[in-house]
Amino acid sequence: MSWFDQNDDIISWASEELIVPYKSPVDNRFHRYFPDFIVKVKTRTGTVKTLMIEVKPKKQTVPPEPRKRITKQYITEVTTYGVNQAKWKAAQEYCLDRGWEFKIMTEEHLGL
């Protein structure tokens, strides 16, 4: 977060300030998703772009590999992936409606 504060191209940023409703595939009910960051950035052309950023482990951004044994851990991985996909679909639609950009960042993007 100090990177946001120290970057001259960042106009403003907020952490978990926005609520995006989404329908969970687990219980088929609506829930509230709080994206990690909303960032306003000055582009190279001088325009202002708003980004909604979610930071997740790479493992949670790809479907779990099918397994022969269905364990609790596997069920949790499948559930987490499904819920994340529902959240991110809602976030993409939210951003599209506003002319924003939605980004998912992992440890690879952050150099970790």
58-95 burial: b if 16+ Cβ within 10 Å, else e = eeebeebeeeeeeeeeeeebbeebebbebbbebbbebb
Could you read off the pLDDT of 36-49 as tens digits, one per residue?
Answer: 999 999 999 999 99
**Structure confidence by residue, pLDDT tens digits, 62-97:** 999 888 889 999 999 999 999 999 999 999 999 999
| 34 in a structural domain | yes
Q: What secondary structure letter does DSSP report for 58?
A: G
In-domain check, residue 77: yes
Q: What tokens appear for 70 in the block? A: 């269905």
In a 13 Å sphere around the CA of 102, the CA atoms on its Cβ side amount to: 16
- Label residue 15 by pLDDT band (50, 70, 90): very high
Taking residues 99-109, what's their average pLDDT?
Answer: 91
Query: Residue 112: what pLDDT?
Result: 56
Domain of 48, in residue numbers: 2-105
Count the domains in the chain. Answer: 1
Residue 112 lies in a domain: no
